[in-house]
Structure 1
Amino acid sequence: MKQRNPVFHMKGYFFFIYFGFGGLFPLLTVYLQDEVQLSGAQIGVITSIGPIVMILIQPLWGMLSDYTKRPKLLLTVASIGAGVSGFTYLFAQEYLMFVLTASMIALFQSALIPLSDSIAMNYTKREGGDYGRIRMWGAVGFAVAVWIMGNASDLFGLEVIFYGFAVVMFAGAFFSRHMPNEAGSAVVDVRGGLKRLMKVKGFPLFLIITFLVYGPIMANNFYFGVLIQFAGGTLAGVGFAFLLAAGSEVPFMRWAGAWIQRRGILTILFAAAFISGVRWIFYSFEPDPVWIYATTIMQGFSIGLFVPAALQYVTDIAPAEVKATAVAVYAAVGNGVGAFFFSMSAGLLIDLHSILAVYLFYGIMTLSGALLLFLLAWRQPHVVKKETA
């Protein structure tokens, strides 16, 4: 029997995996705060433990993929493992059990994004196509998930998010079995590669920018639901807000490639970071839920453009023999160190003040990253204009 178009299966995989993320993580913090009644500091540890585990484990998945040359098999195993781990939240009662469960999910989750991104990126480079148009199905899944699970939580209770997470992870495992087996050609050599990358003009500064801009973006997935409820919204309202926010990413990811060619990578990155920072600052003034819903579409311009543009910038400036290492380091700084720091700090700020202080802090840090991007664009005008000539 002729296999279906591999692009269809990559789109399906991104849809279901990000459906799982969208259905669990934005509502998990609400569950831990309202149902389990953990403190902000405890919630901060649970939401930040994942990024730390990813920093330690992600390179091992990469090396295992390089060694076996079977990344899609690893994706299948990791998807099933994540689903089973998420289901164990239903049986957690003690704080340490929640920490352990979060660690187990992160163990498997650390394989999902980098391996699937690598497969999609390598496939589109070999066969032609637009990575952003495949990756945007993750944004679709995330948006639909929070809306569906937010409404389901209002009807059946927050425990439903754990059932939903397990089911869609298993669905993702099915799609991963039919994805192309695009093994990366470059070996990730973090120690030697990092030493060389630190000499690449612009790369060290961009790591700082990634920390300042992408860290709050990742942490927002955990704390945006808390903000909605603080402002007087419901669980269904949380789902509606994420539907608008994540859904707005879809068209921007679709247009990202053309806009980067027209305006240049650093120009797009600066605009995305600046708008993201303004959004966080606005939320710190405790707006009415209606205004939060209305401004969620800013996420499309910020995240929908920043994610593909940042990945392209890293792969463009890195020497060919250390491109895989550059992507691994970039992911570790953004998804790992940045997400850990801004998730942990959010929990502490909630205990000391409120969720409003969290978004004020996010805004200041993100605008600092935008300022550094302006400086980087000034220092590298050839990168700004190279695609526009």
Structure 2
Amino acid sequence: MDADLRRFAIFYFCYYAALGAYTPYVGRWVASLGHGGYVVGTMLGLWYATRILAPPVWARRVEASARPGHWFVAGSALTLLCFAGFTLTRSAWALFAVMAAFGLFYNAVMPQFEAMTLKALGTRSGDYGRIRVWGSIGFLIVASTYGWLLDRLGDGAFPWITLPLLLLMLAAAWPHRHDTPPDHLDTLEDAGHLWKRPGVRRFLLVALLMQLGFGAFYVFYTLHLARHGHDGATIGALWGLGVLIEIAMFWQSPKLLARFGAPALMSFCIALTVVRWTATALLADSLAWMALAQLTHCFSFAIFHACCMRRMSDLFPGKRAAAGQSLLYGFSSGVGGVLGAALAAGMWEWRGGTAAFLAGAAATLIAFILHALRAKPLPAPTG
């Protein structure tokens, strides 16, 4: 990897390293402040809600600027500044305010950076995976170690040990201050006219339901395992195991897609995810079963994501690709994430982690049925 592309890999590493601290452990920290499942769920719901709003708003500001790279550095700096507010907050409403501000900037800079990366790659777009994989490596290292670290420093240390990662992210953003994105960053508004294309709504609904099913995992997985007697080091190792197998399977996804095809692989991934959430709900006391469930993350996330990207290339070919990605990002990750966090919070308050993960399994089962009933091509007329 040449020096120019190395700086892109470094930012991916730092950005997702910070995410590796935030996603698995923010719920544990909020719970340690004495808040219940609704507050934890709302925190993650706000996180996903900002994914709907932040990218298009930020894209407009970037497009109107003569120095978009400076906006990128400023967004990274404001991410750090807003997160620092967590060191001063304890009440639910204060946490929500800081979360909304932090999420807006943190979720805004990555779509801009993705566009900058693709522009830098130019005709070498096939090298994207080799750069993006460093983000997964950063997530893996932090997610697998921070549980152990919090066991020793106490849950109250969470914002303080996450701040240095965001400071590193800002430092990694600085070399990109003179970079420019493509001439046009597509937003959800650009993709709106694609909503009625054949197969789009069914596909997006399946993707939304899969994301909804992940709600309990992203919001309560750490707390669920802790309630069943697993310590922070073990929980961190389980998070790391899922990401490690995800990285390995991403490299194999082209071969699997070529052999089995996206529709069949998607059905398998969705069905296996139903089993995964059911096992997590009912067998959380067993470390062996939890490790086995985490190994299926390579299909629940990595291969399913690869299948979605293949499906996207069919539904949104050529110049429609970027607009389609905006539509998928906002609808699935944004709306699906918000609904998933809300459902998980309600189930957690009602019957704990078992109910939350069974609800996720039910949502994923609906996704499987919808995918299995996808429209078949009409037979050719006879006579």
TM-score, with normalisation over the residues of structure 2?
Answer: 0.89
Counterpart in the other structure of 2:27 = 29
| The one of 239, 245, 267 aligned to 2:242 | 245
1:106 aligned to 2:103?
yes
Matched to 1:294, the amino acid is L
**In the superposition, relative to structure 1, how do residues 67 and 271 fare at CA in structure 2: closer, same or farther (>3 Å)?**
farther
Partners of 1:89 and 1:343 in 2: how far apart?
Answer: 20
Shift in Å, 1:226: 1.3
1:266 aligned to 2:263?
yes
Counterpart in the other structure of 1:17 = 15
**In the superposition, relative to structure 1, how do residues 219 and 130 fare at CA in structure 2: closer, same or farther (>3 Å)?**
farther
**In the superposition, relative to structure 1, how do residues 192 and 157 fare at CA in structure 2: closer, same or farther (>3 Å)?**
closer
1:95 aligned to 2:92?
yes
**In the superposition, relative to structure 1, how do residues 128 and 207 fare at CA in structure 2: closer, same or farther (>3 Å)?**
closer
| The one of 206, 211, 225 aligned to 2:222 | 225
Q: What number of residue pairs does the alignment pair up? A: 377
Higher alpha-carbon deviation: 244-253 or 370-379: 370-379
Alignment of 1:253-292 (within 5 A): 253-290=250-287, 291-292=289-290
CA deviation digits over 1:300-319, x for unaligned, max 9?
Answer: 22212222432343244215
Alignment of 1:155-194 (within 5 A): 155-178=152-175, 181=179, 183-188=181-186, 190-191=188-189, 193-194=191-192
Partners of 1:293 and 1:140 in 2: how far apart?
Answer: 19
**In the superposition, relative to structure 1, how do residues 189 and 239 fare at CA in structure 2: closer, same or farther (>3 Å)?**
closer
**In the superposition, relative to structure 1, how do residues 354 and 218 fare at CA in structure 2: closer, same or farther (>3 Å)?**
closer
CA deviation digits over 1:11-64, x for unaligned, max 9?
Answer: 22222111111112211111211x211121222222211222321222112223
Shift in Å, 1:335: 1.9
- Please tell me whether the aligned partners of residues 87 and 165 of structure 1 are also in contact (alpha carbons under 8 angstroms): no
Counterpart in the other structure of 2:130 = 133
Partners of 1:16 and 1:219 in 2: how far apart?
Answer: 26
Matched to 1:330, the amino acid is L
- Please tell me whether the aligned partners of residues 16 and 138 of structure 1 are also in contact (alpha carbons under 8 angstroms): yes
Matched to 2:309, the amino acid is L
Matched to 1:139, the amino acid is S
Shift in Å, 1:124: 4.6
Shift in Å, 1:259: 2.8
Partners of 1:314 and 1:121 in 2: how far apart?
Answer: 17
| The one of 368, 371, 377 aligned to 1:370 | 368
Structure 1: gaps of 5 or more residues: 381-389
| The one of 2, 5, 12 aligned to 2:3 | 5
- Please tell me whether the aligned partners of residues 26 and 225 of structure 1 are also in contact (alpha carbons under 8 angstroms): yes
Task: Please state whether the residue corresponding to 2:155 is helix, strand or coil.
Answer: coil
Shift in Å, 1:352: 1.0
Counterpart in the other structure of 2:381 = none
1:202 aligned to 2:213?
no
**In the superposition, relative to structure 1, how do residues 198 and 175 fare at CA in structure 2: closer, same or farther (>3 Å)?**
same
Matched to 2:197, the amino acid is V
**In the superposition, relative to structure 1, how do residues 198 and 24 fare at CA in structure 2: closer, same or farther (>3 Å)?**
closer
Cα RMSD for the two superposed structures? 2.6
Partners of 2:340 and 2:48 in 1: how far apart?
Answer: 10
CA deviation digits over 1:170-196, x for unaligned, max 9?
Answer: 2223333445946235453534631x2
- Please tell me whether the aligned partners of residues 281 and 354 of structure 2 are also in contact (alpha carbons under 8 angstroms): yes
**In the superposition, relative to structure 1, how do residues 366 and 379 fare at CA in structure 2: closer, same or farther (>3 Å)?**
farther
- Please tell me whether the aligned partners of residues 55 and 187 of structure 2 are also in contact (alpha carbons under 8 angstroms): no
Shift in Å, 1:110: 1.8
Counterpart in the other structure of 1:386 = none
CA deviation digits over 1:111-147, x for unaligned, max 9?
Answer: 1332233334455562242433332222222221122
Percent identical residues:
18
